[in-house]
Structure 1
Amino acid sequence: MKALETSSVWRERVEAWARSGLTCKEYAAKIGVNPHTLAGWRWKLRRRTAATASTKTRAPAADLVDVTEQVAAALAKEVGVIEVELGGALVRVRGEVDAEMLVRLLSAIGGRR
């Protein structure tokens, strides 16, 4: 039997055991397998399910950006930094600021309260 086939066979056995209402020892005797092996497969399958679920709910990793000489030079020429805390959000704007855009941004954040 291949590993994938073995896993699917044991998954079916473990699911049938859960539906049966029998103890591990009783169900293992009924189907002719070692109760320790049956319990071990239940543990292994639960771990796989939990690991799969946790990777699905995890936030995607942030993209990394290389800092190039151009970006570093642009940051070095910045004229200042504006920081505004509004509604629990911190807005940090660097460099030249378009006043209209800043007003729209702050209005949007302020409206979320």
Structure 2
Amino acid sequence: MATRAEWAERVERWERSGLSAEKFARREGYSPKQLYWWRWKLRAEGISPPSTALTQAPCFLPVHVVADASPVVAEPIEIALPNGRVVRVRPGFDPATLERVLALAAEETPC
């Protein structure tokens, strides 16, 4: 017959295992009712096994990586044309509009 100290150790191992009382008791060869009763008895006497939160090995949680939500401040680009004109283009420009602006700015006639 197991002693109070042996049952305290069994209850502690059961709580650390994360298994149900049924699975743990079946694996160890005794009744789940015994585990429940000893846990109740030990706690009633003020001899509670450590909390499973403190004794369980840390577990890893799934992590989902998402795109960085912080805005990226892109610098405007400058296009220097052969005729000496410079076109500054800010982020988010419309490509069709830029194409028309460049065609006009590339002309040799003064603005």
TM-score interval for Structure 1 and Structure 2 normalised by the shorter chain: 0.3 to 0.5
- Higher RCO (CA < 8 A, seq sep 6+): 2
Structure with the higher fraction of residues in helix conformation = 1
Bigger CA radius of gyration: 2
TM-score normalised by the chain length of structure 2 = 0.40
